Chains A and B, each alone.
Chain A
Amino acid sequence: MIAVERVTKRYGEKVAVDDLTFTVKPGIVTGFLGPNGAGKSTTMRVILGLDRPNAGHATVNGKAYRELQAPLHEIGAMLEARAIHTGRSAYHHLMAMAQTHGIGRARVLEVLELVGLTEVARKRAGGFSLGMGQRLGIASALLGDPATLILDEPANGLDPEGIRWIRNLLKGLAAEGRTVFVSSHLMAEMSQTAEHLIVIGRGRMIADTSVADFVATASHGAAVLVRSPQATELREELTGPDVTVTSREPGLLEVFGLTSAQVGEAAARAGIVLHELIAQRASLEEAFMQMTGGEVEYHAGTVGADEREQVKEMA
């Protein structure tokens, strides 16, 4: 189990991680989300004992990483930044790692096979493509057959086939009962694999929740879309202190401040015909955008188009 307790990490004036506390639950895939620069990699580096926090501490299975007797057997890690000497072959890199723990050559060959690098294992890692580099990173993480894995943006820069491979691998690892903590700045990727989410922005906790709850929370305050041939009459029925109604096109209303049930009941009371009644739900991607919007360090114009996942409800 990974536990991060009140960790703060500063680089000079810049606060990369700000009083962050969470635990990664065992046996499931936990997504670690946040925009680029949110502090995900820094948090992982603190967990792995590479960076010393200015305050707080992180533990793996109850111990600081530096105190682990056999770290490769307890937690396998793949960092976003490459952690491989470009002049050394994949095979020799893994051998050097394995020897520190007395892990044999057979396991090195096994993980090379597992990630599909057997044929290029003797070639210099410096010549590897991004995808091959990621695979070698995964092989290093799996070397000690650890029960916990921590992967920083494993899908980054991969082609669709590589992304599918990573996705299946993560699912497979979780199915074996392993704890997987995986970071991404892409929400869609997480929705495919993660059960639980830890969302941060500018180094601070935004949400520590299940994927389903995350979407529900983000959907709170979203509009109810209602289509009716009697839209004008319906509009007069929908009143209240916090209710606002807008219209983008004739016959279609966007209602804020009421649930779809309340809108349907109001229509029934007035005997108004409805053709559509839709409670809008934020997609995972949108929920993420909504929650982290203010936490993105550098905005690159306006974010994305309005791609709402519309869940139709029977009225």
Chain B
Amino acid sequence: MSAIASAPPARTGRVTQLGVLRSEWTKLWTLRSTRWSMLVAFVAMAGLGPLIAAIQMGRWDQLQAHDRFTYDAVNTGVGGWHLAQLAIGVLGVLVISGEYTTGMIRSSLMAAPKRLPVLWAKLGVFAAVTFVVMLVASLISFFGVQAIVTQHHVQRSLGDPGALRTVIGVALFLTVLSVLCVGLGTMLRNTAGGIASFVGLLFVLPGISAILPSSVNDSISPYLPLNAGTTVASHTFDNPHHLSTWGGFAMFCLYAAIAVAGAAVVLLRKDA
């Protein structure tokens, strides 16, 4: 029994935000599901653009003249977000809902009973990792696509107007999406509900809006989360009804902020 106290740890330590951040970093990388989802998001973001570009180049002669003329190699270069957003969103819900479904949240909150530091640390770690991983993937995709489309001389350079902003914008969009989804997961506390609400909010709402009379749809749809969020990730637009690049992104940040505020209130008020 003497072993219990044989080498007592320094009891001087206390809970710090930095300590909780370290803890969340450890938690993120010590689950197989997290590593796999992050890998899927990376491969999707880095690989989908070049794949689409390769297909388009192979069918270049069949494309209409108008499409060839307006071909935007920057948009194709970052096209991977269409798939990566799903992996990031699901992972965002999972990093918190997984704690509730397994009971881990009780350990987390017993170690950091003020609770909000856990939410900030989770958001901080997951958002930072998402940004870095998606930015790297976005750059790989961009250069990969430009190398592929050179054969038809439609390549763009990172120095072209709006190109760099789009490449970084994709990472920004996915990062804020990750924050939004951690917020949803914290509010709903279960995986199925969190994923359903994320999919509903981002992908189902535009579909419902599209059924409405087009005049109504045209005035509503730019404000929907997905359409607002992707302005910063788009170089050129097919649909003329959209918010400005940074205005749309600010709108998306507002959605995420609402979700995080809701998450903070639920975390503080509800029993764990």
Which residues of B have CB within 8 Å of A106? 7, 9
Asked whether B107 lies within 8 Å of A84 as measured between CB atoms, the reply is yes
Asked whether B111 lies within 8 Å of A173 as measured between CB atoms, the reply is no
The listed residue with most A CB atoms (<10 A of its CB), out of B5, B14, B110, is B110
Which residues of A have CB within 8 Å of B26? 92, 95-96, 99
CB-contact partner of A101 in B15, B24, B31, B102, under 8 A: B15
Given contacts A66-B113, A84-B104, A114-B4, are A101 and B30 in contact (CB under 8 A)? no
**In the complex the two chains form, what is the Cα distance from A72 to B16 in whole Å?**
13
A4 within 8 A of B: no
Asked whether A113 lies within 8 Å of B103 as measured between CB atoms, the reply is no
Q: How large is the interface on B (under 10, 10 to 19, 20 to 34, 35 or more residues)?
A: 35 or more
**In the complex the two chains form, what is the Cα distance from A87 to B33 in whole Å?**
8
Complex interface: stretch among A49-57, A187-195, A249-257, A272-280? A49-57
CB-contact partner of A71 in B1, B20, B30, B110, under 8 A: B110
Given contacts A70-B11, A102-B16, A144-B9, are A96 and B109 in contact (CB under 8 A)? no
Asked whether A97 lies within 8 Å of B111 as measured between CB atoms, the reply is yes
A93 within 8 A of B: yes
A261 within 8 A of B: no
Complex interface: stretch among A74-82, A212-220, A226-234, A282-290? A74-82
B1-34 contact mask (Cβ, 8 Å, vs A): 1 or 0: 1011111111101111001101110110011110
Q: How large is the interface on A (under 10, 10 to 19, 20 to 34, 35 or more residues)?
A: 35 or more
Asked whether A83 lies within 8 Å of B106 as measured between CB atoms, the reply is yes
A168: nearest chain-B partner, CB-CB: B1
Which residues of A have CB within 8 Å of B103? 79, 81-84
Which residues of A have CB within 8 Å of B51? none
Asked whether A51 lies within 8 Å of B271 as measured between CB atoms, the reply is yes
Which residues of A have CB within 8 Å of B196? none
Asked whether A72 lies within 8 Å of B111 as measured between CB atoms, the reply is yes
**In the complex the two chains form, what is the Cα distance from A169 to B135 in whole Å?**
52
A235 within 8 A of B: no
**In the complex the two chains form, what is the Cα distance from A102 to B103 in whole Å?**
23
Given contacts A82-B102, A96-B23, A101-B13, are A49 and B111 in contact (CB under 8 A)? no
A102: nearest chain-B partner, CB-CB: B13
**In the complex the two chains form, what is the Cα distance from A70 to B105 in whole Å?**
18
Asked whether B109 lies within 8 Å of A49 as measured between CB atoms, the reply is yes
Q: How far is the CB of A303 from chain B (nearest CB, A)?
A: 31
CB-contact partner of B109 in A50, A103, A107, under 8 A: A50
Q: How far is the CB of B177 from chain A (nearest CB, A)?
A: 23
Interface residues of B in 154-192 (CB under 8 A from A): none
Which residues of B have CB within 8 Å of A84? 102-104, 107
Asked whether A87 lies within 8 Å of B32 as measured between CB atoms, the reply is yes
B272 within 8 A of A: yes
Which residues of A have CB within 8 Å of B102? 82, 84-87
Which 3 interchain pairs have the tightest Cβ spacing? A172-B1, A92-B30, A83-B106
6 pairs of residues in contact across A and B, judged by CB atoms under 8 Å: A66-B113, A83-B104, A87-B98, A96-B27, A99-B23, A100-B112
